Structure 1
Amino acid sequence: MQLDLRRHLLLGCLFLCSLWAAVVQAALPVSLQQALSKAQLPLDSVAIVVQPLSGEPPLISHNPAKAMNPASVMKVVTTYAALEALTPAYRWKTEVYSNGPVRQGVLEGDLIIKGYGDPALNNAELWRLLQQVQQQGVRHIKGNLLLDASVYVPELSQRPILDDEPWRAYNVNPYALLVNGAHSSFRFGVVKQDSKPLVNITPEFDLPQIKLVNTVQVSKGPCADWRSNLQYAVAATADGATVTFSGSLPEQCDERYLELSVFSQQQYAAYTFKKLWAQLGGRLDGQVQAAVLPASASLVTTWWSAPLDAVVRDINKWSNNVMTRQLMLTIGMQAGYTPVDESRGALALKQVLQKQGLSFAELVLENGSGLSRNERISAEHLAQLLITAYQRPLMPVLMASLPMLGLDGTLKNRLPDPASQGMAYLKTGSLEGVSSVAGYVQDTQGKRYVVVMLVNHPQAAASRAIQDGLIKAVIEGR
């Protein structure tokens, strides 16, 4: 009995000692506390987890269980779940049907394009799809062009935007036949004309339905804050839209880009079809209309997207919101929800996580992209997901999709010094009042860590330098 008692006491002591060691290790360093205080960020507005992937106790665990808005870091949750649910080889299809006989290149009826939510269908791919249609013998459409986006509930394309910039590309809503993210990229550059500097603006992809008005002047000075003095206005017209740019652009700027979505998703798809179809020598007699695929239609051809691993890379490297939203909807569709909405997509996503042992009571998913005031997750559960993903066969795909510190994507200009470059794969997120970062960091000894830092506070933007300092400290093993 005495021996058993001693053994229990010893085991209890060892447990308490190890627990105390973990608590000591997990305490928020004084230097971090001071930096947060200097930035006027209360400790309860910040959650941090730094966890060795070797299974040791966390180095830092501050407010780990607090539900926080992660902004675009939520894309890590959605892309990981998609890789698990769909596999990295998954491809989306876009189908083209004819509803009528085809004689000598003339379709005596309607052409129908049915979308299944391909998030990456761009103008070049649509051009190749239309080329396939013509190779199947259709060059002249005597009827209408019908666009079938019915795998999504119709309301999805009309949801309210997050902020007061409705024309910005990041505010585009999902659409099952989305083409090029329904946005136009406007390129700005300072050129010389008769030895006088002028601002040249070129839309890419150039649609004839866009009328461009340019009153932008060249200003003196560096290009650092070029957007602050550049304004735009969009006005719908009977046959398209007028985009007016005003203000000034610094003369030291090289090429700069601004992505705007000036048409509805359906309008953009229709205008792009008309331009590409005409370029290919095709003819359309009828109108472009929204419709559901008629039962009598015959399949002409099918376009298959790039695989999911490539799509996930585009999403995470460049933090693409609408692509992520369509990804969550695809998870819902594959779970059997058609037509799908975001609530069903979120339900299916949570079920995918639960199968991997990732049951997060505080997780709130509105659209899966982080472009939301309502989405929530805790730092400890983000860390748990990243650790789980690291142990899964798909780990190389997820990690490679994240921006590399100081080298590419949204991290290209962050900690670009040679000692830090490439030492971390991280996803960042920012909204007004939100700044976050999460991912994998390797130290100079080759040891890897999961690092998560979430900040929810009106002064959240001030935490970026603190995030950089934390990442650099982990890299240097401090």
Structure 2
Amino acid sequence: MRLSVYCLIGLLLVALSSLAHAELPAPVLRALQAEGLGADALSVYVQRVDQPAPLLAHQADIALNPASTMKLVTTYAGLELLGPAYRWRTEIYHDGVLKQGVLTGNLILKGYGDPSMRVEDLWRMLSRLRQQGVQRIDGDLLLDSSYFASTNAGPAAFDGEPYRAYNATPAALVMDLKATGIQLQADAVTQQVLLRAEPDPNSPGMTALTLTNQLKLVRSACGDWKTRLAYDVNVRSDASNARAVELVLRGDYALDCGEKWLDLSFFDEASHGYFLFRQLWQQLGGSFGGKLRVGLMPERAVKLLVNESVTLAEVVRDINKFSNNLMARQLLLTLAAEQIATPGTEANGARAVLLWLRSKGLEFPELVIENGAGLSRVERISSQHLASLLLAAYASPVMPELMSSLPILAVDGTLRKRQKDSAAYGRAHLKTGSLSNVRSIAGYVLDAKGRRWVVVCISNHAKAQQTRGAQDVLIDWLYSQP
């Protein structure tokens, strides 16, 4: 009987505690009401890192789409499971005979998922190859991406925009994030819009990219310039087995815009790598006339050299500061391959994260990980559990790497232009997330008295984009805690 009474008292205290922390702060509620929204538009969890209970828990146990704040889960898992000093490898082999500078056989590039590989890295690798005496390749270029499995969803699956760089799909051998930057330059003298690709995939004797310019230069304010553009991508396979592209740009471009960049991903990873290889190899004085091949490296292949990436800590910084989707997806697949099995799959990446959470005593039954980047309609986590993750991270040896990877309020990354006049300027490390009907922010705030707080705020609402002001007010309110 006495035990039952104690249990009832305990339950009552828990219930009262929940009620005490359930109401949104008045300034936050007023900011919502100014947008015609109610308290139900937000899920919020706030807790000081050195306290056992939250200051605020409002609708905090609801499973919600976190958008890009899901990257916090992926990057924290990566830092703990792989270590901040982890590096990815990219290897070059041959399967023939190398004699007097002539390779009779195929040159092979094998990737292990490096998310950070740039055209400069490929140039250095090929330069080392030339220094080893290789001048002519009498064979094909074989690209081996077998370390990762192909993803189930194509680049158009998320929002029907298959050529936007944020939709680029992961692969074990990716260069320059599979992206091509298109420079648009308004020329007042010629009254034209000048176009240029960077990196330029074209090389003597091979046109990988054709830019067809149907843009009209107009005199108006620049504004949201991308909405005034349209483009078509025409794809053809050439004699090399690679996929060449014609990009047709149409619409109006304002003189006031000056120079702008449009990042697109219209090459598959194999074609992209092949075109860049041909261009760089010719620049280095090498000779190559072979085709593109995609497949497994033969067992008899001879290793020529290995390139190592920047550290995982540096990659995590790019993922979180700039919300890089492809890098986050590459990291999840790396976790799958390193922790579960090869080839790495998204399902095994999610499994690796769940097993890691369980090993830390963190049970998140509502957690759904599709690709680890938040570029998803199905990923789910509650604000309470995302906060629990951040609290655990604060006590982790990798806390410095994770926190320093987050955008600093009003200073850098995706928060560079946000809350410039806030008293919390420079005192919050926060990851943002934004999708259609989703707006989120999560991370750490250092208040005016030097106390550190974890804050998570998620909106899944038809007017989610209109909750940004309330989220800003929440950060200011937290900074000013008595």
Task: After TM superposition, list the pairs within 5 Å mapping 1:124-163 onto structure 2.
Answer: 124-155=120-151, 158=154, 160-163=156-159
CA shift for structure 1 position 223: 3.1
1:198 aligns with 2:192: yes
Aligned match for 1:347, one of 351, 354, 366: 351
Q: 1:462 aligns with which of 462, 466, 481?
A: 466
Task: State the shift of 1:18 in Å.
Answer: 8.8
Quote the Cα distance in structure 1 between the aligned partners of 2:349 and 2:477: 38
Q: Contact 2:29/2:38 (CA < 8 Å) preserved in 1?
A: no
Segments of 5+ residues of structure 2 without an aligned counterpart are 203-207, 239-243
Q: 1:303 aligns with which of 301, 304, 307?
A: 307
1:440 and 2:418 matched: no
Q: Which residue of 1 aligns with 2:241?
A: none
Matched to 2:231, the amino acid is Y
Q: Does 1:257 align with 2:257?
A: no
Q: CA deviation at 1:35?
A: 3.1
Deviation at residue 148 of structure 1 after TM alignment: 0.4
AA aligned opposite 2:142: L
Q: How does 1:281-292 map to 2 (within 5 A)?
A: 281-292=285-296
- Asked if 2 retains the 8 angstrom alpha-carbon contact of 1:156 and 1:175, the reply is no
Task: Look up the match of 2:179.
Answer: 183
- Structure 1 residues 18, 287: closer, same or farther in 2, change over 3 A? closer
How many Å separate the matches in 2 of 1:364 and 1:81? 15
* Counterpart-to-counterpart distance in 2, 1:201 and 1:475: 46
- Contact 2:94 2:106 (8 Å CA) reproduced: yes
Aligned to 2:201: 207
Shift of 1:222: 3.5
Partners of 2:186 and 2:366 lie apart in 1 by 49
Aligned to 1:388: 392
* RMSD of aligned alpha carbons: 2.4
The answer to whether the Cα contact below 8 Å between 2:28 and 2:471 also exists between their aligned partners in 1 is no
Query: What is aligned with 1:121?
Result: 117
Q: Which moved more, 1:399-408 or 1:206-215?
A: 206-215
Aligned counterpart, 1:427: 431
Q: 2: CA distance between counterparts of 1:138 and 1:132?
A: 9
TM-score scaled by length of structure 1: 0.93
Match of 2:166 among 166, 170, 185: 170
Report the Cα offset of residue 199 of structure 1.
2.5
- The code of the aligned residue for 1:203 comes to A
- What's 1:361 paired with? 365
Does the Cα contact within 8 Å between 2:337 and 2:345 map onto a contact in 1?
A: no
Residues 23-32 or 241-250, more deviating: 23-32
The equivalent of 2:205 in structure 1 is: none
Q: Distance in 1 between the 2:226 and 2:129 partners?
A: 42
Q: Percent identity?
A: 42
Aligned twin of 1:216: 215
Letter in 1 for 2:67: A
The CA distance in 1 between the partners of 2:69 and 2:343, in whole Å, is 27
Q: 1:334 aligned to 326, 332, 338, which one? A: 338
How far does residue 29 in structure 1 lie from its aligned partner after superposition?
Answer: 2.3
Tell whether 2:102 aligns with 1:99.
Answer: no
Distance 1:38 1:105, change over 3 A: same
Among residues 50, 53, 56, which one is paired with 1:54 in the alignment? 50
2:478 is matched with which residue?
Answer: 474
Cα 1:190–1:285 change in 2 (3 A) is: closer
Paired residue for 1:317? 321
CA distances 1:243-276 after superposition (whole Å, capped 9, x unpaired): 1222223333243221101111111111111111
Mapping of residues 230-245 of structure 1, within 5 Å: 230-239=229-238, 240-245=244-249
Residue 51 of structure 1 deviates from its aligned partner by: 1.3
Contact 1:219 1:251 in 2 (8 A): yes
TM-score (norm 2): 0.92
In structure 1, give the amino acid aligned to 2:93. Y
CA–CA separation in structure 2 for the residues paired with 1:108 and 1:455: 60
Q: Kindly state the Cα deviation for residue 145 of structure 1 after the two structures are TM-superposed.
A: 0.9
| Letter in structure 2 aligned against 1:441 | V
Q: Cα 1:238–1:116, aligned 2, differ >3 Å: closer, same or farther?
A: closer
Do the aligned partners of 1:98 and 1:300 also contact (CA within 8 Å) in 2?
yes
Structure 1 residue 314, shift from structure 2 partner? 0.7
The question of whether the paired residues in 2 share the 8 Å contact of 1:69 and 1:434 is answered with yes
Equivalence for 2:414: 410
1:88 aligns with 2:84: yes
Determine which of 244, 248, 252 is the counterpart of 1:248. 252
Q: Deviations over 1:324-353 (max 9, x none)?
A: 111001111111411121111110111122
Write the distance in 2 (CA, Å) between the matches of 1:414 and 1:223: 21
**SS of 1:323 mapped into structure 2:** helix
Deviation at 1:242, TM superposition (A): 1.2
Number of equivalenced pairs: 471
- In structure 1, how many angstroms separate the alpha carbons of the residues matched to 2:338 and 2:293? 27
**Amino acid in the other structure paired with 1:421:** Y
Give, in whole Å, the separation in 2 of the partners of 1:412 and 1:224.
19
